[in-house]
Amino acid sequence: MVRLASWALLLCADAVVARPGAPSNLHRNSPGHAIPRLVHSHASPSPFFSDAAAHRSVKRFDGNKVRIENVRNEGFRHNGPAELAWAYSKYGKTLDRHANNRVSTGLVSAVNQSYDREYLSPVLLGTPGQVCWLDIDTGSGDLWLFSTDTPRFYLDGQQIYHPDKSETAHRVANASWSITYGDGSYAGGGIYRDTVSIGNITMFNATVESATAVSRSLTTDPVMSGILGLALDHPSTTYPQQQTLLQSMGPMLDMNLFAADLKYQDVGAYHFGYVNDSSYTGAMTWQPVLPRSGFWEIYLQSIHIGGDKVWRMHNWPMVADTGTTLLLLPTDLVELYWSFVPGAYMSEVYYGYVFPCNATLPAFDFGFSDRWNATIPGHYFNFEAITDTECYGGIQDSMEPFGILGDAFLKALYVVFDVENKRIGLAKKKLLA
């Protein structure tokens, strides 16, 4: 517990947040070229991210139920090492200089494929509502986005927030927010209060953080306008401290919870204010969030890999994070997993586990002391092909005693984030792929 509390503090101090682009330490060592160029090559204005698509994707139901479909952003950074580096920087780690160079190398050889790198959801800001595609991120606590305050130089075609065109926007005097990464790179700016609508759930005077300065590496995703952080009890990086969106949202919901129904290579959905019993099968298990974590962190209590004879039991702390792409596990578990894949090895070149693409990846089973257990299919951990024969693993080392349950894991499940009762509900669902 003491240790847990201390890393929770460390995370706060490091002002963990955000998501897009590669961490700036990559940027710094690869003079800002490799990552933006790769992104640009895939980035054409996409019909998926039009206003019409935003309206289509918001389904209205009776009462205060809102379902927003998210759209996979296939055009974004298709690069495993960069994903890993991003997750490290988010949780306050930085790669060493050599690693950065390796990551740059990895970028150049990325092969085209469709990935579930990122899921974006349409959110309306201001009055009249301005559509912005935000990345719903249970691993951070700020709602921040690009706006007319963001120097054009930084932007890359993103839809931005225009506070001047919103009748309900008020600037909060003398308040600011800032995110500093381990290497000193920065994003930050001023704060507004404005109306924020997720579907027809409308929050008045919600805290909207507007970016005035941002590292170039945070702006390379041309469709993502910002991050909508929904971490539990995780303060935002605002000063003085402002209400988070999660706090503003609670009173507006029938039930103070939301659910993630992400899909393997398909459009998923977030459900706000209700649990959709048709979205899952079997029983739901409820796991208490670890006290003082500040994140959606629970213990996984049993783990079994592929054809292994034994289930291993332990309390492994794991953070459920929709804003991380891969499944990141403590070193011993990562080594265990890849030991079941002939030919897999920790690559110095790609800075992570790679494996022969023709290998069959073992399933990852996990459960809890209540004996509820579920399976993540092995192919969910084939993140991408990096050469004709080698693939980058979707399970990588968290380099921490705790793990991060990213999208590779979450999309096999229906996951309820119960704010009211500080617990996570997990259930199996019919997997279409």
Residues of the shown chain interacting with ligand NAG in the complex, contacts defined by CB under 6 A: 60-65, 67, 111-113, 170, 173-174, 193, 200-201, 204-205, 271, 276, 278-279, 302, 311, 356, 358-359, 367, 371, 373, 389
CA distance 194 to 148: 15
Which structure tokens are listed for 393?
């693993």
- Count CB neighbours of 181 within 10 A: 24
CA distance 3 to 346: 28
The single-letter DSSP state of residue 362 is P
Q: Which of 135, 183, 321, 407 is catalytic?
A: 321
CA distance 158 to 150: 11
Longest dimension (CA), the chain: 63
Nearer to ligand NAG, 67 or 423 (CB): 67
Nearer to ligand NAG, 154 or 350 (CB): 350
Nearer to ligand NAG, 18 or 391 (CB): 391
Query: How many C-alpha atoms does 320 have within 13 Å on its Cβ side?
Result: 30
Which structure tokens are listed for 392?
């980058």
Contact 411, 264 (CB under 8 A): yes
Nearer to ligand NAG, 331 or 339 (CB): 339
Closest of 122, 420, 61 to residue 276, by C-alpha? 61
Q: Closest separation between CB of residue 271 and ligand NAG, Å?
A: 5
Q: Is 135 a catalytic residue?
A: no
Nearer to ligand NAG, 5 or 175 (CB): 175
Q: What is the distance between the terminal CA atoms of the chain, rounded to a whole angstrom?
A: 39
Which residues have CB under 8 Å from 164's CB, separation 6+?
A: 148
Query: How many C-alpha atoms does 57 have within 13 Å on its Cβ side?
Result: 28
Q: Closest separation between CB of residue 47 and ligand NAG, Å?
A: 19
Nearer to ligand NAG, 24 or 238 (CB): 238
Task: Name the strands in the sheet holding 345-347, side by side, starting at the edge strand that comes first in the sequence.
Answer: 345-347, 352-356, 390-393, 382-385
Q: Is 137 a catalytic residue?
A: yes
Task: Name beta bridge partners: 425.
Answer: 286, 416
Q: Closest separation between CB of residue 148 and ligand NAG, Å?
A: 20
Q: Closest separation between CB of residue 8 and ligand NAG, Å?
A: 29
Q: Closest separation between CB of residue 181 and ligand NAG, Å?
A: 28
Q: Closest separation between CB of residue 279 and ligand NAG, Å?
A: 4
The single-letter DSSP state of residue 346 is E
**Residues annotated as catalytic (active site), given as ranges:** 137, 321
